[in-house]
Amino acid sequence: MSEFQDADSVLEPTLQNVIDQTSLKWIFVGGKGGVGKTTCSCSLAVQLAAVREKVLVISTDPAHNLSDAFRQKFSKTPSLVNGFTNLYAMEVDPNPDLSEVEGLGGLEGEAGFLADISTSIPGIDEAMSFAEVMKQVQSFDYSCIVFDTAPTGHTLRLLQFPSTLEKGLNKLMSLKDSFGGMVSQVSRMVAPGGEDMVDQLMGKVEQLKRVVEEVNAQFKNDELTTFVCVCIPEFLSLYETERLIQELAKFEIDSRNIVINQVIFPEEVGTSRLLAARVRMQQKYLDQFYDLYEDFHIVKLPLLEEEVRGPDAIRNFSVNLLTPYKAQPRPEDGQPLPAAAGSNSLLEELRRTVEEQRKRIAELEAQLAAAKK
């Protein structure tokens, strides 16, 4: 962090501000692929469930990971997460059931054809995710919804969907006003009652337009919606996070929290040259994060000792979102590590490997000395 920055001006390095803002209804968690979005979204949902009445976490990534994270199979229907009484999870089905999509009811004759081509339509994943959002807007059964999003590109398209759809529907309604009389005449000529069918269809379009406008307004309201960016301290992730935040600003979507995952803390390095080099590399990018985002809450999470899987592991890990992680100093060389020391198994594994290699070298040197005698 810049030495010129006033320490008192640094925002709290936790997500406590998200937990405390009780007006939030939509919380998006996103970033580059492979940075730990699912772990962070599940952990945030667990902390929200501790203070909210009913919380839902939705995966909008076609390659779902919620089931793997909680070690429990989820579907497109919200299910109660094991070990909780008010936390639900669901995974949006990327293969749409068109009969359930709002606005397509009554088109049974065309449903088969639409179903055949739907899986190959570009952007169908985002469309189905947005359809699920619209369902929740119309019957909001949860006090808060957390979105475990797809990698950045897919997520930006999802967030852009309301504005794009609203513009398209406005254009469609303007065409209806311009050519409504001609359409009604053609409909009467083609089939009896055709005019009523057109009016019914346009009524559904108007209803859809109202819902889309409501979603768009809520997404742009910082009292209702926020976006938590997840990244790692490397160049590509830093670059993509900057792009993501700029795009969110264009969409007028609130973003004030950054979670930097997989951080190696200097206290846990010991004598490893590899880890020391990684710490120096990470520190360079951490400094850039602090310089670029002085007005953001920046949360640092450690490179963990093992995968965070299962409700208990997620619950334990989620504490790091609200309480800054404290690295455990490594014991002096030659001293055994305490059974519960640290929380970084990758580091411990590397240390054990180094110690094993040292012992092996000592054994080989002893054998060589014995052979020379």
Asked whether the predicted pLDDT for residue 148 surpasses 60, the reply is yes
Instruction: Write down the pLDDT at residue 330.
Output: 64
Is 6 among the residues known to form the active site?
no
> Tell me, what CATH number does 177's domain have?
3.40.50.300
- Give exposure, 139-152, as e/b (b: 16+ Cβ within 10 Å): eeebbbbbbbbbbb
112 against 33, higher pLDDT: 33
Average pLDDT taken over every residue of the chain: 79
Asked if the structure places residue 331 within a domain, the reply is no
Long-range contacts of 51-55 (CB under 8 A, 24+ apart): 51/19, 51/22, 52/22, 52/86, 52/143, 52/144, 53/86, 53/143, 54/86, 54/88, 54/141, 54/142, 54/143, 55/86, 55/87, 55/88, 55/142, 55/143, 55/144, 55/145, 55/146
Whether residue 361 is found in the same domain as residue 268: no
Number of residues that this document lists for the chain: 373
Whether residue 235 is found in the same domain as residue 356: no
Give the model's confidence band at 116: pLDDT under 50 very low, under 70 low, under 90 confident, else very high. Answer: low
**Beta 144-148 vs 225-231: how paired, if at all?**
unpaired
In tens, the pLDDT along 297-327 reads 999 999 987 889 999 999 999 999 999 998 8
Residues 295 and 265 sit within 8 Å (Cβ to Cβ): no
Whether residue 362 is found in the same domain as residue 238: no
Whether residue 166 is found in the same domain as residue 252: yes
d(CA 51, CA 53) in angstroms, rounded, equals: 7
Mark the binding-site residues for ATP, compressed into ranges. 32-39, 234, 261
In tens, the pLDDT along 17-74 reads 999 999 999 999 999 988 999 999 999 999 999 999 999 999 888 777 899 999 999 9
Portion of the chain with pLDDT greater than 90, in percent: 42
Number of structural domains (the chain) is: 2
What is the domain range of residue 69?
15-321
The residues, any chain, with a CB within 8 Å of residue 99's CB and separated by 6 or more, are: 105, 108, 111
Whether residue 356 is found in the same domain as residue 215: no
Whether residue 354 is found in the same domain as residue 313: no
In tens, the pLDDT along 233-289 reads 999 999 999 999 999 998 899 999 999 999 999 888 877 888 889 999 999 999 999
The residue from 8, 20, 61, 254 that is catalytic is 61
Whether residue 82 is found in the same domain as residue 219: yes
Mark the binding-site residues, compressed into ranges. 32-39, 234, 261
Asked if the structure places residue 357 within a domain, the reply is yes
Asked if the structure places residue 61 within a domain, the reply is yes
Residues 242 and 161 sit within 8 Å (Cβ to Cβ): no
Residues 261 and 40 sit within 8 Å (Cβ to Cβ): yes
Q: Give the CA distances from residue 348 to residues 7, 275, 335, in Å, rounded to whole numbers and listed in that order.
A: 33, 11, 13
